[in-house]
A and B are shown apart, each in its own frame.
Chain A
Amino acid sequence: MKQGKIMRALVLALAVSPAFAQTTTTAPPSGRLLASNCFQCHGTNGSGGLERLAGESVSEIYNELKEMQRKSPPKMMDMHARGYTDAQIRLIADYLSKQR
């Protein structure tokens, strides 16, 4: 079967593919990937959309998200805020506060 043949070839390829060398890159900022969950509604890097977030202070963003987690009845963003742990909210707030 064609599929089986391809899969076997791929497993072989895996065995011989070279490991990626460690390079001198800087680590991606922590919080960047998490905060990118905001970008669909708030623009890339929190640049606008439903509301601009880039450059707000850490405490503004943190407190607002914590408040939303408790709001009832929840609107969409209140519901969404409930998807993050406290530590994740801190990372998101920190990342967005540094964007311009």
Chain B
Amino acid sequence: MVKRRDFIKWAGASGIGFAAGAFDMLAMAEETSAAFVPVIPTNTGIKGNVVVIGGGMAGATAAKYLRYWGGTGVTVTLIERDATYASNIMSNLVLNGSRTMSSLQYGYGKLASSYGVKIVKGDVVAIDPVGRSVTLGSGTRYAYDRLVIAPGVDFDVLPGLETATAQAKVPHAWKAGPQTTTLRNMITAMPTNGSGVFVMTIPAKPYRCPPGPYERACVVADWLKRNRPGSKVIVLDANPEIIAEKHSFEEGFALHGIEYRPNTTVLSVDASTMTLDTNNGKVPGAVLNVIPPHRAGKVITANGLADADGKWTSVDVLSYEAKLAPGIHVIGDASATTQPKAGHIANQEAKVCADAILRMFSGRALDQAPVTNSACYSPITFETASWLTVTFAYDPVSKTMLPVPASAGEASARSKDNFEEMNKWFTALMGDTFA
């Protein structure tokens, strides 16, 4: 919200008189525009050549801040396989028809034009950590002084989901894109007589966006209640209990009549009979939304960088440099840290990483007390949301990011105000990442 003193400052600067009506108008203009015009320092004296793999929440932020803070002496090449980024955040709201996939696309034009990031469309297949270069599928090589890898996650292939046909019938939609639209279409195709059952499954942690699956269950159940009354939503959770925003989601599940079965792991999927086999028996459904266990993106696992559980990269959280791979930094979902795998905090990890790389380039000591924060709004119905937040601070004893207990909490109740705030938060977060 715009405070009165801001308005007075603004009005004074622009020489316009004070009028009560104008206050609201200006307040709106400021909230919706937020046009940030960056000034890139021409030369900070810092020199270096960084390649960033993956232009998602973590990689795009890192590329931007390396230039914004580092200046023109720092060459930054961002390699991304897709022409535009489809935001996972808010993609659950495509499932109830309140957002479209096209409204969730973010391009790389601003990173290039405002910050001078070199954008390369390509898929990195190989990394040479000794010779310090990466190679694209096309064979082109890019040399680096420091490499940032931010490829997000890949999904395990569950028994029964090996073929493209089976995957099309049982989508995860846990990477926003065509599968999100497929799942939306499956939901709207559920029988109008209310006989349909929507079954979704949640993998054991860590997976990306801890509250995300519970949020999805609420949003889908809310839509079905109003549009396909009588339909049922069943949530099969491999975890022993709701792992994030427990209070909000317990209320949400009660509100929507969602059936919740903890400690339930999918063993295999039969896409032809639309039935899941679990450790707690067989579960059929009209729609099956199976979210498989995750691992870091393939560029990590295929290049010998997955030293944590064979799935993720362990990093020093002062710099996000891989513990076993000097010169290579891993940020976002792909690294193994005490922080959640989420977009808001991936953006902050990227800033810590960018700051550290710039210090390394200029021979300075790293910041010994980094702070990161996670913040998340979760829609519970089409018009209300809850929230969750926590700040992490570096602990020199355990050398990990530890939650600051006083800063950890969730909304006491879902509300329309939270829903409105969520939209502003999302716009600001994507702006800080891509513009």
Which A residues lie at the B interface, using CB under 8 A? 2-3, 5-7, 9-14, 17, 20-28, 32-34, 36-37, 39-45, 47-52, 60, 73-74, 76, 79-84, 88
Contact = CB atoms under 8 A, between A and B. Distances in A.
Contacts of B425: 40-41, 49-50
Interface stretch (B32-40, B91-99, B189-197): B32-40
Interface of B, secondary structure class, is mixed
B307 A80 contact: no
Contacts of B326: 10, 13-14, 17
Contact of B421 (A10, A44, A76): A76
Given A33-B352, A48-B36, A76-B411, 14 more contacts: A6-B305, A25-B44, A25-B46, A40-B344, A41-B429, A44-B68, A47-B36, A48-B35, A49-B425, A52-B30, A60-B5, A76-B387, A79-B408, A80-B375
Contacts of B370: 33
B351 interface: yes
A83 B405 CA distance: 8
A16 to B, nearest CB: 9
B129 A37 contact: no
Contacts of B358: 28
Q: Which of A25, A51, A80 has the most CB of B within 10 A?
A: A25
A34 B369 CA distance: 9
Interface residues of B, number: 70
B6 A40 contact: no
A7 B36 contact: no
Contacts of B391: 37, 80, 82-84
Contact of B389 (A2, A12, A76): A76
Interface in B396-418: 404, 406-409, 411-412
Nearest to A77: B389
B382 interface: no
A40 B424 contact: no
A40 B324 contact: no
B38 A40 contact: no
A50 B421 contact: yes
